[in-house]
Amino acid sequence: MVERLLKDIFLIKVPLPGNPLKNLNSFLIKGKDRNLLIDTGFHSAKCFQALQDGLEKIDVDMRQTDIFLTHMHADHAGCASLIASEESRIFVSDEDKKGMENYFVPDYWKLVFQKYLSLGFSEEELTAVFQQPGWRNPIGEQGDYHGLADGHEFDLGTYRFQCILTPGHTPGHMCLYDKAKKVLFCGDHVLYDITPNITGWLEMENSLGKYLDSLEKMKGLEAEFAFCSHRKPLGKFQARVNELMEHHEERLEETLDIMEKSGKATPYFAASKMKWSVRTENWDKFPVEQKMFAVGEADSHLEYLFYKGRLKRELLDGLLVYFAK
């Protein structure tokens, strides 16, 4: 599906089969000299076909088009190498460029496996996930990515976008903002219908703290048109920023309550006691992939409380254990 949103700005809905996110909102900005495609979908034939069909409908030639990735996750970066032409440049933040390069380092995935073990997963659960096709190669092939620093500008003629580094969802998540036109592309930093997953990272300490700081950067930003990457593309931006901050305050209170009742917990145990919107009978019935998101989010909240001095933590026999004070 293709929709014209503003002058020279188009939405291409890219399906994400089998994924609870349902679709990716990919955006195409027609420029004076070159066009800019924002985010691409998974490294799959269906995502590629949806993008290709959408680009054909709005008469866009990839030989005259560059790609901007808001962040390194596979549903945003996976199809970039497939849809790019030899003349296309693929842009991503310096921080997430390093993360994408790690995808092709075998030892990196050993460290990821060990990290999830330390959070409380069993080897059996993790092995079932890590053996799935595409898990260790989420972007298909190593492309020639151009790293961007905070503040970089894209002059597209009608629009002039500045890159705003917003770490939290990933170490180098980046938004695009045209102050004069009040247009913002916020990737997964702000979503209107669901809350962005904030998880722990090997490359970044206190991811929730960084995410909340990044949300704070958005306060007062004049964004009449703030487009996000999943579900409904447009909403009341400043109101949603406040809602997301309130959501995490409530989640932190829930986490503290769990810790006060249990005294100590691994992130896996804490996640099993949290409320989730996944439609299953109980925690044991959670799909393991969804458990990984849930445990990662529990870990980020526990870690935030540790950095705030509200909890203690120790590594005991390979397990990361948090203690109530």
How far apart (Å, rounded) are the C-alpha atoms in residues 282 and 272?
9
Closest listed residue to residue 63, CA positions, set 103, 41, 40, 33: 33
Q: How many CB atoms lie within 10 A of CB 217?
A: 14
How far apart (Å, rounded) are the C-alpha atoms in residues 235 and 233?
7
Q: Is 38 helix (H, G, I), strand (E, B) or coil?
A: strand
In this structure, are strands 160-165 and 153-155 parallel, antiparallel, or unpaired?
Answer: antiparallel
Contact 119, 201 (CB under 8 A): no
Query: Residues with Cβ < 8 Å from 284, sequence gap 6 or more?
Result: none
Q: How many CB atoms lie within 10 A of CB 205?
A: 11
Tens-place pLDDT, residues 233-261:
999 999 999 999 999 999 999 999 999 99
Contact 80, 103 (CB under 8 A): no
% the chain with pLDDT above 70: 98
Q: Which two tokens stand for residue 198?
A: 């904030």
First and final C-alpha spacing in the chain:
53
Enumerate helices (H) and strands (E) in the chain, giving the number of each: 10, 15
Closest listed residue to residue 166, CA positions, set 109, 226, 125, 122: 226
User: What pLDDT score was predicted for residue 286?
Assistant: 87
Tens-place pLDDT, residues 128-147:
888 876 666 678 777 789 99
Closest listed residue to residue 266, CA positions, set 253, 255, 275, 277: 255
Q: Which two tokens stand for residue 224?
A: 């009449």
How far apart (Å, rounded) are the C-alpha atoms in residues 56 and 252?
46
Please write down the HEC assignment for all residues of 219-241: CCCCCCEEECCCCCCECCHHHHH
User: What pLDDT score was predicted for residue 285?
Assistant: 85
Which residue stretches of the chain have pLDDT < 70? 133-137, 278-279
Domains and CATH numbers, the chain: 2-103+143-235 (3.60.15.10), 112-133+249-324 (no CATH)
